[in-house]
């Protein structure tokens, strides 16, 4: 982590004549200074600077950031195989809990379900499917 160098702030900001918000923040700052509350005084100065930059264009102007919308499409990652599995949730009081394990073919999971049902007469399963996806730009956008 790097620390950003702060620019010197210079003298406290001067309220803009006729602005109620500037006057209120200046009064807040003066009251904090009278109480010897340096933290509250600094807070008032910061708020006054922010207000002046926003409402009066006083102080350094930061460049605006431009964000471009780039349309993406979500596609299945062809480099990774999807995963299938099933867990038996049959049972009167508690679930059976038997699991097929992760398989790369849904037919293998279905076969496991058929065999488990033949052996136990359990007809209810929770099936899961997992895959990986990638976001790809819809079209090439020049920078």
Over the stretch 90-122, which tens digit does the pLDDT of each residue have? Answer: 988 899 999 999 999 999 999 999 999 999 999
The pLDDT value given to residue 4: 54
Give CA–CA dist 141/72, Å, rounded: 11
DSSP 3-state of 44:
helix
Report which of 77, 19, 78 is spatially closest to residue 52, judged by C-alpha positions: 19
**Residue 1 pLDDT greater than 50, yes or no:** no
**DSSP SS3 for 99:** strand
49-84 per-position pLDDT tens digit: 888 888 887 656 566 677 677 788 898 898 999 999
Phi, psi of 99 (to 5 degrees): -125, 145
Contact (CB, 8 A) for 77 and 133 = yes
User: Strand ranges (DSSP E) for the chain?
Assistant: 72-76, 83-88, 125-130, 133-137
Adjacent-strand bridge partners of 86 = 127
Max distance between CA atoms of the chain, in angstroms, equals 88
Question: Is the separation of the CB atoms in 128 and 80 below 8 Å?
Answer: no
Distance in Å from the first CA to the final CA of the chain? 29
pLDDT tens column, 22-57: 999 999 999 999 999 888 888 898 889 888 888 887
Overall pTM surpassing 0.85 (yes/no): no
């Amino acid at each position: 982590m790097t620390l950003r160098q702060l620019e010197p702030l210079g003298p406290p900001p001067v309220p803009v004549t006729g602005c109620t918000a500037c006057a209120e923040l200046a009064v807040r700052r003066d009251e904090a200074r009278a109480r010897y509350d340096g933290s509250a005084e600094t807070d008032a100065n910061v708020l006054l600077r922010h207000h002046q930059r926003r409402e009066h264009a006083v102080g350094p102007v930061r460049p605006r950031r431009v964000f471009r919308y780039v349309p993406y499409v979500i596609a299945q990652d062809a480099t990774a195989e999807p995963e299938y599995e099933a867990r038996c949730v049959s049972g009167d009081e508690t679930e059976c809990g038997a699991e097929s394990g992760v398989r790369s073919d849904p037919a293998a999971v279905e076969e496991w379900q058929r065999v488990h049902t033949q052996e136990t007469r359990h007809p209810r399963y929770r099936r899961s499917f997992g895959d990986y996806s990638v976001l790809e730009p819809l079209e090439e956008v020049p920078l």
